[in-house]
Amino acid sequence: MNPFKQAVLLTALFTSHSLFAQIEDRGGIVARKAELVKVQDGFTFTEGPAINRMGDIFFTDQPNNKIYKWSAGSGEITLFKENTGRSNGMYFMLNNTLITCADEKNELWSIDQDGNEEVILSGFKGNKLNGPNDLWVRPQGGLYFTDPLYQRDYWEGIREPEMEQDGQHVYYVSEDRSEFFRVTDDLVKPNGIVGSPDGKTLYVADIGANKTYKYDIREDGYLTNKTLFCEKGSDGMTIDFKGNLYLTGDGVTVFNRNGDQIAHIPVPAKWTANVVFGALDRKTLFITAMDAVYTLEMKTRGVW
């Protein structure tokens, strides 16, 4: 082997070993000898990973107004849709309809398997929303979404950047879309959101206060018993079948259901935006971070 190729190989091995050595895993959730893999880069800002029934993951490149698909079978990434309303957070319904937070005009969209979109809602009590950011669909039906205000340069000429709502809140939309109401009114800037596998607990990251809270979910969609879960905010987040919560920002930080930190997965990017479990066995952690997406094989698995 020539010296150049040997140096490249040693660098790659050292980098992989270094990334693995930096993973703090006190909860035994990462697969043995797993390595963080950069699947593809060249994007501008990746966000909103959502898994369908086949284990494929769809994610957004929000500044470029596109949604991509990562195939669970081949590992290839292909373009799914352009002109996505600047979709951010996304989530799949059981019927394979993709729900997206399309904040170009501050709307919620549904997108079918052929890429055809429909606007679900575009305002609250006669005013535009701040900018739907992330969402979670509960097993019993109905969805929750966060509505923080982040100034977007593409709003110029479309809408004024001032906040039209009286704060930054979380909302609930019933499955038949006949009910649409606010469920929080005391958060600074809610962002990441996810529910427990049994659909009884909702976690909301208040990134503005650097805290994450948990709530009990009532049958009618309202929330009760707000409790501090951990002293850390998050952008997007996910949960595994044991109830461990995965928060993003500085890599991926994992907390058990009691709010104790059990793992930290470093990601070589300035910001980790979102995370989800993918593949048919739900044991591939898929991470969106700035201009790239990454995977990490896990011992634990996600939920559907």
**Nearest Cα to 48, choosing from 70, 29, 31, 30?**
70
Q: Which two tokens stand for residue 292?
A: 């790239």
Query: How much is the pLDDT for 153?
Result: 74
The Cα diameter of the chain in Å comes to: 69
Is residue 97 exposed (0-12), middle (13-18) or buried (19+ Cβ within 10 Å)? middle
Beta-carbon neighbour count of residue 268 at 10 Å?
A: 16
Instruction: Give the tens place of pLDDT for each residue, 237-278.
Output: 999 999 999 999 999 999 999 999 999 999 999 999 999 999
Domains detected in the chain: 7-297 (2.120.10.30)
| Under 8 Å between Cβ of 44 and 291 | yes
pLDDT, mean of each 10-residue run, the chain (304 residues): 36 40 87 94 97 96 97 96 97 95 94 96 92 94 94 66 86 94 97 96 98 97 98 97 97 97 96 97 97 97 88
Q: pTM for the whole thing?
A: 0.91
| 8-state DSSP, 112 | -
Q: Which two tokens stand for residue 18?
A: 């270094």
Instruction: Give the tens place of pLDDT for each residue, 5-46.
Output: 333 333 333 334 445 448 899 999 999 989 999 999 999 999
| Under 8 Å between Cβ of 87 and 62 | yes
- Rounded-to-integer distance, Cα 278 and Cα 140, Å: 22
Apex 212 CA angle, 206 and 214, nearest 5:
115
